[in-house]
Structure 1
C-alpha cells in the first residue's frame, strides 16, 4: 500500500497540502526510551512520510569514520582525517567515540540511497522527499555526501519562486535537502547553495520576543512550529504527556494562525504529534497518541489551527485568494506537516486525509466570504464526508 501526493494535483503548491513527517527519522534501534521508528527511510517513504528529521554525527575509530544519525548526545568529538568514498576527498572530521546518552541509527549513505531509490522507481517517480538536517556536526561533509549520492535526483532551486509555492510537479522525482541556515552561515568558506542542491531552513518561532518575519526572497524552507515537552515532567503518565503536548502545540498553532503578517499563509505549519522523553518507552507513549481518543485529539488540534486562521483573516478582511486550476481558492495558514514517531501506513493515511478536510473547510469559508447570495466557484462545494467528525 502506497500513499501518493501527486494525485492531489500536479499544480498543488507545497503550502496547500498536508503531509506526514518522521521525527528522529533514522533511529530504528536502541533502548525503548530512544528508538523512534521501526521502518527505514525507503519504507517510511512508501507508507507516506515526505519529510525526515535527521541529526547526523561521525563515529568510528582511527582507521575509519562514517556518518550516522543519532538521538541523544555524543561524547566529546575528536578531529580525524578521513577519505570519503562518496566525495573522493580527504576531510577533517569531528568523530565521536560513542554516545553519552541515546543511540546512533541508520548510516547516512544508506538513507540517501533509500531516498534516491524511492523517487526513481516507476510507481513513485512523481513523488518528492525532504531531508531536514539539524543539530549535526561535519556539515560540509554531509552536504557534499548528499550531492554525490543523490546526483541528478537532488533538488536544485533556481529562480525566484518561493519554496512553499513550489508545485508538486516542480518537485516530482526529487529529494530536497534543507540544512539549518544558522549552522551553515557559521562554516568558514562554505559556498554550496540552492544551485547545488543545498537549501537552508528557518524556524520562524522564537523562544523569546517577537517571532521572525517571513522572507519572500528566502531560498529555503520557512516553517512555524516546535516539538518537545518539558524534561521536568519526565514522570508524567502517558496521558498527561499527551495533554502537555496537545496544549503546547495548540498554543503554537494559534500564535501563527492569529498573526497579522500578510505572508503567514505561505509559511509551512509544522505540528508535532510525538511522545519522546528521557524515560519510559516511546512506543508505549506513541500508542496512546494513536488510539481512538488520540486520533480524535490530533484531528482537533490540527483543525483548530486552520479554523483560527480563517476566523482571524475574515475578521481583518484579509482573506487571500490563490488561483489554482482556474478557480479561486481561499488560502489560510494551517499545519502542513504533522511530525510523528513510528511512522506507519495507517498513521500517514490519517494525515493524508486531512487534505480532504482542509478543502472542505476552505470551501465553506469561501462561500461565507463571498456571501450566500453569490455561489462559490465550481469545484468548491463541500464534500459530504468530513474526517474526525
Structure 2
C-alpha cells in the first residue's frame, strides 16, 4: 500500500472503536491512517467472549452504562444501534446466536469480526501501520503531527482510540489519558471494571469453595444483577460479581441473595412442615452441596430445624437473602475486562466525540468515561462512538 505523509485523519488504536471509525471515515472518501503499536489489529476482540466475541447486546440503552454524565452516550447509541452492527455482521455472512440476556456471539470465531473490520477498512482505503510505537504527538498550525517508527504523519484531525489500561498483558496502557492531559483534557480517575473481587479476613474461608457457582442476585449500592456468581481461590467472580464490581467502591459491602426465588418466611414454613430436617439439607435442594454446607455452618443453626426458634430461623433466611461480603479489593487491571473512568465526557461533544476546546481532537471507545455492562455493551459503545466520529473526521 502506498504510504503518505498527509491524511485527513489519523486514528491511534486499532481496536474495535478505532477500526470502526477508520472504515466509516474511509468509506466517506477520507484519507485515513490507522496506527497501533501491536503487531495485529483487534487483539482484544480476538480474546473476547471466550474467543467467540460477544459483539453487541440487543438491550443496549444509555442506562446500561456508567459515566459521570449518564446522558452522554445517548446520542451515539441512538444513531448507531445494535441492529445496525448486526446488519453488518449478517452482510458478511457471519453466523451468530443469542446466548442470554440479549448477548450476541459469533457461532464460529472472533476472528470473523476482525476479518469483517479489516475488509471494511480495505473498502475504505484505510492505511494501517502496525508494530511501531508512537514516538511523539504534537499540534501546530491546525495540523496534528504523529511520529512513529521512522515516519511522521500529519492530519487536521486526530482520534484517540487506544482504550484503557485493562488487560496490560495484551499491550494495554494509559496512553490515551497521558495524551488527553497533554492537550488539556480532564480525565476521570480510571479504575478496573468488570473485575473479580478479592476477600480477606474471616471471609477467606469462602475461598475453599473455589470453582463453586450459583445463580444469585448480587448488589452494590442500589444496583443489582441476577446472574451466576463464582467462588475463586482469591474471592468472588462470575457474571453477577463482574457486573456489580463496576459499581462497587472500596470499604462498601457487596450483598448477595443466594435464594432469589424464595419469599420471606419460607424457611420458617419449612421448619414447621419438616422439623427434623437440617438447614444444610434444605439449602442443598437449592444450592451446590459445598456452598449449602458452608452457609449453614456460618449461620450457626445446627441439627434439626425444629430445635431452633422461629426467630432464629427467620433471621437465617434474611441473611441468606442479603449476605454481606466485604471485599478488600479487586484483581486489578490485569483481570479487568474494561476500565471505568477515562477522558471526561464534559470535554467532548456527544454528537461527534470531538474535544470542545481542542478542534480536530476526538476520543472514542474505552478511552472515554463511558463503561458498559458485561455482555456486549462495551463493544456497542465502541461501534457507536467510532461511527459518530467517523461521520465527521
Query: What range is the shorter-chain TM-score in?
Result: under 0.3
Q: Which has the higher contact order (CA 8 A, sep 6+)?
A: 2
Tell me the TM-score normalized by structure 1.
0.24
Which is higher, the Rg of structure 1 or of structure 2? Answer: 2
